[in-house]
Amino acid sequence: MVLLVVLVAGVGFGLWTAFLRPVPVEAAGVATDVPVQVFGLGTVEARVSSKIGFQVPGVLVDLRADVGDRVAKGTVLARLDDRVQKAVLTRADATVEQANAGLAKAQASLDKAQVNYANARSVNERRQVLLQGNTTSVEAAQAAQASEDAAKADVTVAQSEMLVARANISDARAQQQQQAAILSYYTLVAPYDAMVTARNEEPGSALTAGESVFTLVDPKSIWVLAYVDESKAGDIKVGQPATIVLRSHPTERLAGRVARIEPESDRVNEERKVEIAFSNPRQNFNLGEQAEAYVTTMRLPQALLVPEVAILDLSKDSGTVWTVEDGQLKQHKATLGHRLLDGRYEITGGVPEGARVVTVLRAGLRAGRAANVVNGRGQ
């Protein structure tokens, strides 16, 4: 008899525990200032990258930079053997001096011709006056006139020679400038403040014009080229804030912003390419390093968030959730909003005001059963 009573009591306690005792549940609270983010995986790249070389062929005789060096704009990086070109420039300099001498000579000839012409004209004027007074012969007056005409012609010739001399100087100076410019091509300088990422030649190499000697990048142009699923990329806009995590520093969160969204997607992987610039230029970087990017497309002032595992019959924008209302469990078909990267969904409708949404499903959940909220997530 005692055994029967104990058995009945045990069964009753088990039934009470399974069906009548309030079940403890965890429920979501309203979260504030919730970031909605889109994830992208990519690599560290440089927007400005240049392969530089000499504009003329020659033998490389001097190298002044190596991989990893930081160089300022205008820094000499390398030189070619320029002895022949220096000789050509020296000859051009001599040609300029010769042209200057020719101009001086032409100027002296012009001055002399003008003096002779002035004298001949003066003599001719006196002879013509004397001829009118019958104090000189016609032949003498004609000779004076001929001398003046010849002196005038000499002035014209001297003026032409001056024009030729000036033209010779212009040509000689142009040749000099050309050869000086060519000589400058034998020196390779940094076109901007840069970091050397590759050195492709060594001293003694015979180079062709345009052959790459160095690869440079602008450190201020370092960014992350991220690939984002097209289905998630629609809300991304230029200027939105982002968080960058480099593979070499997995615990460090770096600030960035969306700098550019490329207009052409990857047709095979169905991904959109998004360039994310660092808010603070990187002093140390490794091109090609893998990086994670988290772009914040918006922030929710308030949101009721439920884990995906707590939603039944989940579809694109709806699902069934358990709630606690007046101490009892109920089920509702809720409408869903944004999905966060941690797997939580925003509940946007379908849940009565004041109801608490269960976040962890467990055995014993049944509509109408009493429930106690023992944890409020998001509060």
Q: What CATH number does residue 204 fall under?
A: 2.40.50.100
Specify the pLDDT at position 12.
Answer: 44
Of 187, 219, 211, 212, nearest to 49 (Cα)?
A: 219
Q: With 0.85 as the threshold, say if the pTM is over it.
A: no
pLDDT digits (tens, 9 = 90+) for 122-155: 887 787 888 787 777 778 778 878 888 888 898 8
| CATH number of the domain enclosing 150 | 1.10.287.620
Structure tokens at 218: 């602008």
Secondary-structure percent of the chain, ordered helix, strand, coil, rounded to 5: 35, 40, 30
Residues 295 and 329 in one domain: no
Domain co-membership, 61 together with 192: yes
* b/e code 274-302 from CB counts within 10 Å (16+ = b): bbbbbeeeeeebeeeeebbbbbbbeebee
pLDDT mean across residues, the chain:
89
pLDDT, position 14: 47
Residue tagged 């997530």 (tokens): 377
Domain assignment present for 18: no
Higher pLDDT, 57 or 143: 57
Partners of residue 290 on adjacent β-strands: 43
* 268 & 350 share domain: no
Say if residue 316 is in the same domain as residue 225.
no
**In angstroms, rounded to a whole number, what is the distance separating the alpha carbons of residues 152 and 163?**
17
Assign 19 a pLDDT band (cuts: 50, 70, 90).
Answer: low
Per the structure, the count of domains in the chain is: 4
Beta bridge partners, 312, equal 320
Report the CATH number at residue 275. Answer: 2.40.30.170
Cβ atoms of 277 and 238 closer than 8 Å = no
The domain boundary residue, chosen from 134, 163, 184: 184
- Cα–Cα dist 52/225, whole Å: 24
Do 199 and 64 share a structural domain?
yes
- The reply to whether 205 and 180 lie within a common domain is no
Report pLDDT for 97.
93
Residues 94, 211 within the same domain: no
90 and 179, same domain (yes or no): yes
Q: 9 in a domain, yes or no?
A: no
> Average pLDDT in the 191-207 region?
95
Q: Is the pLDDT of residue 54 over 90?
A: yes
CATH number at residue 340: 2.40.420.20
pLDDT at residue 316, as a whole number = 85
| Cβ atoms of 376 and 27 closer than 8 Å | yes
Q: Encode 186-244 in three state secondary structure.
A: CEEECCCCEEEEEECCCCCCEECCCCEEEEEECHHHEEEEEEEEHHHHHHCCCCCEEEE
Give the residue, 23 or 120, on which the prediction is more confident: 23
The 3 state secondary structure assigned to 265-292 is CECCCCEEEEEEEECCCCCCCCCCCEEE
Q: What's the domain range around 195?
A: 51-80+186-217
Q: Within this chain, do residues 165 and 90 fall inside the same structural domain, yes or no?
A: yes
State whether 92 and 162 are in the same domain.
yes
Asked if the model's pLDDT at residue 85 lies above 80, the reply is yes
Q: Is 203 in the same domain as 55?
A: yes
Tell me, yes or no, whether 241 and 324 share the same domain: no
Counting residues of the chain whose pLDDT is more than 70, the rounded percentage is 94
